[in-house]
Every structure is written in structure tokens, then in C-alpha cells.
Amino acid sequence: MKRNINEVLRSIKWLLIPYLILLCICLVIKLLFSRETIYFTVNGINNPVGDFLAPFATDLGNGWTAVIIAAVFTLFNYRKALIVATAYAVTSISVQILKYIFDEPRPMLYFKDQLSHIHFVKGVDMLSFNSFPSGHTVTAFTLAVLFTYWSRNKALGLLFLLIAVIIGYSRMYLSEHFFEDVTAGSVVGLVMTVIWLYWLDNRAFIQRPKWQKGLLG
């Protein structure tokens, strides 16, 4: 059964509508405040609990999360496994291209003369290059869109959005990315996943019965 793009968007409206509101708020923040002001405001809001939890949250946006999810889906549903794997591949390749096009420094390099004034979380491997956009955020929003799309209870889209936002925020908390990187990453992840999902899920081959099964039958 073919679905048009509007049907795909309606199926994720519990994620999409609050996301668009949040995106507008982010754009207003960016218009009102400088990169430095936003960065040091976020960096100044830290505590031991946040230092402990942020690395775990950020790991949820790691590429290995998408790989593991795709592998698990292979056991039950080849269609979902293929969509997860290819959506991750398409969005991650796209974000890497954007990283090298913009070639933006990360906070560690950007504020190299002010490092003594920055809060860093111990044990976190700090990177210096290819900051824009945030790849972890792209992956987080890719998975959030897919899980919302497949959920019977569409209201869970709010939960998936919250998780994706927490992952994005963790990238700023850990000083791995700027506000702009995370905001752009969310847009790339959501938009490209919706387009890819619409295109791939409408292919005739993926609707065949054998694709609805997995290794466990």
C-alpha cells in the first residue's frame, strides 16, 4: 500500500508539531543571542548528576545504536531492519558531507584561549574539528522519526522527541557541539528521514510478505 508524503507526516504529527514549535523557539534564541552567549549559558548549567548522565545520553545518538537496532529488527522484520539501516546510512553520509563542506571548529578549538573558563566532563574524549552539524543529533532524530512512524500509540512521538532533544542537549553539555550544530542536526535528521522513509517504504519489493518476516520467522 503506497502512502503519500502527507500521510507519512500525519503519522508522525505527535513528534512533528511539537518539534516545529521547538525549532521556532531555537531560531528565535539564535536571532536574539550570540554563539558565545548561548554556549557559555549552557556550559554554566552543570552539576555532578549532569556530568554523570550526559555521556550515557550522548551514547544513545552513537551510530552503533542504529546498527544494533537494525540488527535486532532483522530477527523480527526485514523491512524495518532495512529502513533503519539505510536511513542511518543516508543521513550519516549526508552529515559527513556537510561537516567537511562547512569545516567548522568545535568548542574545544573555537575557545582555545578560554579553556580555563569552560566546564568539561572528565573522561570525555574532546574533538576539535567538523562541528557542524551534530551527527549524534542527526541519528537521534532519525530514530525518533522511525519509531514514531511505526508506533501504534502515536502519542509516543512526544517521548521519542524528548529523548532526541536530550541527546542533542548532551552534545552541548559535553562541549562537543554548538547550539547551531544541534539545531541543524535535528533538521537534517528529521527531513532526510521523512524523505527516505517515504521513498523506500513505497517501493514494491519491500511490501512483499517475505519482507514482513525476520530470521525468527
Q: How far apart are CA 160 and CA 141, in angstroms?
A: 8
Residue 103 has pLDDT above 80, yes or no: yes
Note the pTM of the prediction, 2 decimals: 0.96
Q: How far apart are CA 135 and CA 130, in angstroms?
A: 10
Q: 133: cis peptide before it, omega within 30°?
A: yes
* Residues 6+ positions from 182 with CB-CB distance below 8 Å: 133, 134, 137, 168, 169, 171, 172
Kindly state the average pLDDT of the residues 67-81.
97
In degrees to the nearest 10, what's the CA dihedral of 81, 186, 177, 127?
20
CA distances from 198 to 5, 13, 100, 180, 202 (A): 6, 15, 27, 27, 6
pLDDT category of residue 2 using cuts at 50, 70 and 90: confident
Sign of the four-CA dihedral 26, 32, 37, 41: negative
User: What does the pLDDT read at residue 1?
Assistant: 63
pLDDT tens for 191-203 read: 999 999 999 999 9
Query: What value does the mean pLDDT of the chain take?
Result: 97
Q: Residue 143 is inside which H or E element, if any?
A: helix 135-150
Q: Is 73 exposed, middle or buried (0-12, 13-18, 19+ CB in 10 A)?
A: buried
What distance lies between CA 217 and its chain's CA centroid? 31
Q: How far apart are CA 161 and CA 177, in angstroms?
A: 19
Residue 157 has pLDDT above 80, yes or no: yes
pLDDT category of residue 3 using cuts at 50, 70 and 90: confident
User: What does the pLDDT read at residue 20?
Assistant: 98
Q: What are phi and psi of 47, to 5 degrees?
A: -160, 165
Share of the chain above pLDDT 70, in %: 100
Q: How many residues does the chain have?
A: 217
User: What does the pLDDT read at residue 194?
Assistant: 98
Pull the grid cell for residue 192: 532526510
- Residue 105 is classified by DSSP as P
